[in-house]
Amino acid sequence: MNFDLLQRLMGRFFPGRTRGAGAQGAGIALAEPLPCPAAPARPRPSGRLIRAPRRERPRPAPQPEAPPAMSAPSRPKRPWPEGLEESFGAYAAEDADMGAALRADLGQRLEALRKHLGGVEPDLVSLLERLGGGEIAETIPQIPAAAQRALSLTLDLETPTHELVSVFEGDPSLTQALLKSANSVYYGASESCSSIRNGIVRLGRKALRNVLLTQVLTGLVCRPGRAFGRMPEEVWEHLSASAPLARCIAPAFNADPEEAFAIALLHDVGKLVFFEAAAAARRKERRELSVGDLESLSLCLDVLHEPLGGLAMERWQLGERAVRLVATHHRRRPGSADRFPLGEAIFVADRVQLAEQGGSVDLDELWLAGRLNGSDVRAAKLLEVYYAQND
C-alpha cells in the first residue's frame, strides 16, 4: 500500500490526526451496548482498488524458523516498545498450550507498554493494569447465555435441529437475526421464510453460526468515552465489511467460505475487548478517561489486540483454530497458524477492506508480506466479481 493510502486510512480512523489506531473494548458485563449497527455503507471502490499480480513468482515454502517477515506495506510501521518485537507470537509452536501461551505473551506486552507509557498516560496505564490484574477471563466479556448455547450447538454438526429451534425460540433478537439472514438475497431467498426451523435448515450450521457471531459482536460495540471517539463503531464496520470479503476470496485459498466469514468477522475482536475494559473503567470511576496522545492509544490497540482476541476465542469456546487464527492474523512471523489456508484469506480481506477507503492494494506485495500460498490471480478475479456485484 502506498503512503497516500496510508495517510487516508489513518485519517479515517483518526480524523485530524496524522496516524491512527484501531478500536476495541472489554469488561465483565456488556455495558451500554449501542443499537445494533447497520451494515456499513461501503464506498464504491475505484477501478484500481486491486492491483493484480504482475508476474509469476515462486511461492515461499513455510519456514517456521525463518526470521520475522517485514511488515505488510498496507500497515503503518509504528515503533513498538523495546523487547516486544522479540516476544510477540512466541505462542505459535505447534504443541503450545495456546491459553497459557497467550496469557504469558499478553503479560509481556502489557508490562512493556506500562514501561513505555508510565508517567505519560496515567489513565491508559491504569487500563493496562486492569487488563493484567487478576484473571484475564474476567476482563473479557461473556457473551449472552442463549448465544453461547446456540454457538456450542452449531459447532456440533450432530446437534438435532429441534435443540437449536428451542434456543432460538427463547431469544427474540436471535430469531429476528436468523430470519433476516434466511430471507436475504445471499442465501437465495426465493420464498419468504418465517419459521425458525426453516430458517435453520436454509442457512445450514455454519451460516447459522455466523448469524450468531454477528449478533454477539454488535453487543460488544460499547461506549468507552469521548477520548475514544467512534473507534468501536469503526472497528465494527471494518469487521462486518471484512467478513463478506473473506467469504468471497476463500476459494482462492481452498478455504471454507463460511469459516472465512466467521474468522474475518472476529479477527479484530481484541480491540472490542480493549474498549469494553475502558468502558468498565469509566463506569467504575464515574468519569471520562483521559488520553493525551492518540498515538499511545493506537500503540496499545496494535500491540494487544491479537492476544486479547485469541483469549476471547478461548473464553467463548470457539475452538483452538479460531484462537490461533485470531491471535496471529497479522502474520507478523511464521508460525503454526500458517498451516491454515483460512488465515491467508483473512489477511487479504483485512488489507483489502482497509483499502476500500481509497488507494489500492498491490497483491504482489501483499503475497510476499503475508507469506501467502493461495492463488493471487484467482483472488483478484473473485474480488473483481465481488465489487462488481456490490457496486
SS3 content of the chain, % helix, strand, coil (to 5): 60, 0, 40
Q: Which stretch binds Fe ion (CB under 5 A): 74-82, 132-140, 347-355, 361-369?
A: 347-355
Query: CA triplet 308, 312, 313: central angle to 5 degrees?
Result: 120
- Comparison of 295 and 350: residue with beta carbon closer to Fe ion: 350
In this structure, the chain runs to a length of 391
Q: Per rule CB under 5 A, is residue 302 in the interface with Fe ion?
A: no
Binding mask 250-269 for Fe ion (x = CB under 5 A): ------------------x-
Contact 301, 36 (CB under 8 A): no
The rounded distance, in Å, linking the Cα atoms of 262 and 346 is 10
Closest separation between CB of residue 277 and Fe ion, Å? 17
Which of residues 281 and 308 has its CB atom nearest to Fe ion in the complex?
308
> Which residues of the chain form beta strands (DSSP E)?
50-51, 361-362
Of 131-139, 157-165, 291-299, 345-353, the segment contacting Fe ion by CB under 5 A is 345-353
- Contact yes or no for 4/359 (Cβ under 8 A): yes
Q: Which is nearer to Fe ion, 268 or 276 (CB)?
A: 268
CB of residue 309 vs Fe ion: minimum separation in angstroms? 8
Restricted to residues 267-286, the positions that interact with Fe ion (CB under 5 A) are 268
Site for Fe ion in 176-235 (CB under 5 A): none
Rounded distance between C-alpha atoms, residue 295 and residue 17, angstroms? 9
Of 5 and 208, which CB lies nearer to Fe ion in the complex structure? 5
Select from 121, 295, 314, 350 the one that contacts Fe ion (CB under 5 A): 350
Q: Specify the residue, 121 or 350, whose C-beta has the smaller distance to Fe ion.
A: 350
| CA nearest to 145, candidates 167, 118, 163 | 167
Number of residues engaging Fe ion in binding (CB under 5 A): 2
In degrees to the nearest 10, what's the CA dihedral of 144, 149, 152, 154? -100
Which residues make up the interface to Fe ion (CB under 5 A)? 268, 350
